[in-house]
Amino acid sequence: MDSTKSTNSPTRPLELWGGLECTTNRVQDTYFHQLDRNGHAKRADDIERFASLGIRAIRYPVIWERTAPDGVDKADWSWPDERLNALRASGVTPIAGLVHHGSGPKHTSLVDPAFPEQLAEYAGAVAARYPWLEYYTPVNEPCTTARFAGLYGVWYPHGRDDRTFIEALLVQCRAVVLSMRAIRAVNPNAKLVQTDDLGKTYSTPEMAKVAEFYNERRWLAWDLLCGMVGPEHALWNYLIKTGIPAEEFLWFRDNTCPPDIIGVNYYVTSERWLDHRPERYPAHHRGVANGIPCADIEASRALATATAGIAPLLSEVWDRYRIPLAITEAHIDANREDQLRWLLEIWEAAQESRESGVDLRAVTVWSLLGSFDWNSLVTQNRGYYEPGPFDVRAPQPRPTALARMMRELSAGTPLSHPVLRGQGWWRRPDRFLCQPVATPDAVGSITADGHTLVGKDAAPILITGASGTLGRAFARICRKRNLAYRLLSRQDMDITDAESVERALAQHRPWAVINTAGYVRVDDAEGDVERCLRENAIGPAILAAACARHGIHLTTFSSDLVFDGAKGQPYVEGDATAPLNVYGRSKADAEQRVLDRHPGALVVRTSAFFGPWDKHNFVTLALQAFERGEPFRAAADQVVSPTYVPDLVHTCLDLAIDAESGIWHLANAGAVSWAELAQKAADAAGIDAVSLQAVAGAELGSSAPRPGSVPLRSERGQLLPALDNALSRYLELRNQHDPEMEELIRTMESRQPQAGGERQMEEAAPEAFQAQGS
């Protein structure tokens, strides 16, 4: 890691850094600690995980509020002692962060004149205890934090005016200057890595002055530290109008502290579009700027031609300051393939910028352990989680496909994941939240072929089960996620025929197969044992053996009916199977056969599908019966974990991209009887369930015995949200017209025989769902 200010050398490779989401923000009197939420506060072995990624440096928290909340004399250094020395031993350079979107301990705030001196005292103590530390970020994103805490009222001290915003900015920047002074008194070679969010605002001509102001405001923190703010500054009049004395700004000219490295944080939300026609946009994007009603929305969601991304912005920073740069946060909250595509786009833009003469040193993959509740700007504990290179929902952080990509980038080896051959959502035609706006001349655009969805030679995912609900759902969501796929009928590939499987694999050359085909009629299976075993166990085994030979990832599905219900508590992946019926035995047999032949396969146990795209699932049938006032019988003594199909499909695709293997329980969090599920759905929909008849399962006349209680829980990580959350989203989509799905169904039905065959095998009749078939 080298921060000398020489022109970028083409012989110095672009470095890969890592970042750990460590926000310690305050809302009223409540602190939100990301380190507690992601578990790193109590997990020392994460350091080995971080080092395994091949990163050269890491933005690492030595947070003031956590280490010395009651003063330096009462500081507890045990945690940073252990972690910083472990990083040093692993060869990863720490960039010590002292305040991260925080406002300091409870006795101070971002508008407290004593804040700078107090943080400086703490910074000096950090340097004294770790004199070998070279890189520091005393305050992360001071301009952004000042906006959230002083202008938007989101974080403490919840200011909502320009004066509080500027006061918070000045306090933080002064704290940076004094902190670096205290640090350099101990270590004269210490270097400042000063981060902030860098975006850009575009607008209609009517909003041009506001956009121009925003585009000047984004530089304020760096301008202050570099001593560039005085009467000649573009925002001088704005600054003085706040009533803050001029000497508060001019102090920085006499106490310059230019960064050794400027850290650019960039997100898909960083580039904005302002439009004086708010009625064109969703209500939550409407507001007022400079007294003008307008809409403020991500540029990617509004502009007809996507912006050129971060590369032109890096050139703007370089041209303004001529100080070495690093991209210090690269992250997106998206499906896994788009997380990979975002990192690739950032990495390629960094290489492009270096080639054009920008002294750019590194790209930092942010949120190594993911982040919590940033969709509410960390103002509520809702449990919303965005995975990163590691997913902390597992008992131990689970490496995702991002981790593999990081190792390839750090080693300089070719990137290997097939899903990289496709555009991210921010460049796809379905990204818009409004009628697309003609792109202003000021917006650089990507090349024409940048809108390509998936390359023609991109390896696809093969999906079996073209006439089934689950197969169609996978096709629909693959299309939405811009993942190349082929939806196959039994005519296209019969999984019970080894030659048919080989032909299909040779023809399509997939990187993954998702098997949704199978015998689903639980009661009929009791008298159709041979066929059920052939289609549910022998066929998947044949497919698994072929996928293993060709190095293809396989996902296939099992059921909660592999259990007998005698456990008395939720079943986890390691529990022994004990099926009560033929269908359950076929699935238990399939699990063993598949994993014996393909240890890298993923076997998903799930239960009780419901979703918005078919008419025959239990929840839909129940609501239809209640709406008509017809009696609806459901078992009150059989407990399951219902599964919302879109959640299941999205999660399975992420796990396939991550190359996960073994058995995994995937169901929405919650355990209910079938009767309780019907009642919950009715309550959520506001429908009177007076016609619900809760009965014993034995009264439903099922041929196959059913277990009494088979809720699923995962010891590998609960990846699907709670049942109530899933029901609310199901109801939002239930009555929406979906021409895309209807067209998909019409297309596939036109290819199928009209009787027997796959249609019978894969489409469960309503009676099967009413009888609580899986």
Residues 28-73: tens digit of each pLDDT: 999 999 999 999 999 999 999 999 999 999 999 999 999 999 999 9
Question: Is the separation of the CB atoms in 409 and 347 below 8 Å?
Answer: yes
Q: Which amino acid is at 270?
A: S
Q: Is the pLDDT of residue 648 over 80?
A: yes
Residues 150-189: tens digit of each pLDDT: 999 999 999 999 999 999 999 999 999 999 999 999 999 9
For residue 767, the model assigns a pLDDT of: 29
H-type alpha helices, 659-738: 674-685, 723-734
Question: Is the separation of the CB atoms in 176 and 192 below 8 Å?
Answer: yes
Tell me the β-bridge partners of 351: none
Residue 583 annotated among the catalytic residues of the structure: yes
CA distance 743 to 739: 6
* Residue entry with tokens 């990846």: 719
Helix, strand, coil fractions of the chain, as percent rounded to 5: 40, 20, 40
For residue 458, the model assigns a pLDDT of: 86
Question: Is the separation of the CB atoms in 235 and 210 below 8 Å?
Answer: no
Torsion sign, CA atoms 710, 714, 715, 718? negative
Phi, psi of 445 (to 5 degrees): -120, 155
How far are the Cα atoms of 48, 140, 540, 662 from residue 388, in angstroms, in the given order?
16, 20, 32, 22
Contacts of 473 (CB under 8 A, 6+ apart): 611, 613, 645, 646, 649
**Angle of CA points 192, 197, 199, to nearest 5°:** 135
Residues 242-266: tens digit of each pLDDT: 999 999 999 999 999 999 999 999 9
Residues 189-240: tens digit of each pLDDT: 999 999 999 989 999 999 999 999 999 999 999 999 999 999 999 999 999 9
Q: Which amino acid is at 721?
A: P
Please tell me whether residue 561 adopts helix, strand or coil conformation: helix
**Angle of CA points 159, 162, 167, to nearest 5°:** 70
Question: Is the separation of the CB atoms in 497 and 543 below 8 Å?
Answer: no
Q: Is the pLDDT of residue 749 over 70?
A: no
Q: Which CATH superfamily is domain 15-269+307-431 in?
A: Glycosidases (3.20.20.80)
For residue 748, the model assigns a pLDDT of: 42
- Give exposure, 194-226, as e/b (b: 16+ Cβ within 10 Å): bbbbbbbbbbbeebbebbeebbebbbbbbbbbb
Q: Is the pLDDT of residue 146 over 90?
A: yes
Question: Is the separation of the CB atoms in 640 and 560 below 8 Å?
Answer: yes
- Mean pLDDT on 591-598: 97
Q: Which amino acid is at 571?
A: Y
The CATH 3.20.20.80 portion of the chain extends over 15-269+307-431
What average pLDDT does the chain have? 91
The confidence band for 739, taking pLDDT boundaries of 50, 70 and 90, is: low
Q: Which amino acid is at 715?
A: E
CA 490 to chain CA mean position, Å:
35
Neighbouring CB atoms inside 10 A of 452's CB total 16
H-type alpha helices, 131-235: 142-146, 162-186, 208-217, 220-225
CA distance 180 to 98: 11
Residue 457 falls in which region: left (phi positive, over 0), alpha (psi -120 to 50) or beta: alpha
For residue 457, the model assigns a pLDDT of: 75
Question: Is the separation of the CB atoms in 673 and 581 below 8 Å?
Answer: no
* Residue entry with tokens 């106490």: 255
**Angle of CA points 136, 223, 6, to nearest 5°:** 60
Question: Is the separation of the CB atoms in 579 and 562 below 8 Å?
Answer: yes
Nearest to 602 by CA among 668, 666, 555, 534: 555
Q: Is the pLDDT of residue 445 over 50?
A: no
Give the CA diameter of the chain.
90
The CATH 3.40.50.720 portion of the chain extends over 461-770
Nearest to 387 by CA among 655, 196, 32, 45: 655
- What CATH number should be reported for the domain whose range is 461-770? 3.40.50.720
Q: Is the pLDDT of residue 701 over 90?
A: no
CA distance 328 to 266: 8
- Mean pLDDT on 457-482: 93
Torsion sign, CA atoms 457, 458, 461, 466? negative
Question: Which pairs from 27-35 meet CB under 8 Å and 24+ separation?
Answer: 27/154, 27/155, 27/156, 27/378, 27/379, 28/156, 28/158, 29/106, 31/65, 32/373, 32/378, 32/379, 32/381, 33/66, 34/371, 34/372, 34/378, 35/61, 35/63, 35/66
Q: Which of 266, 267, 571, 583 is catalytic?
A: 583
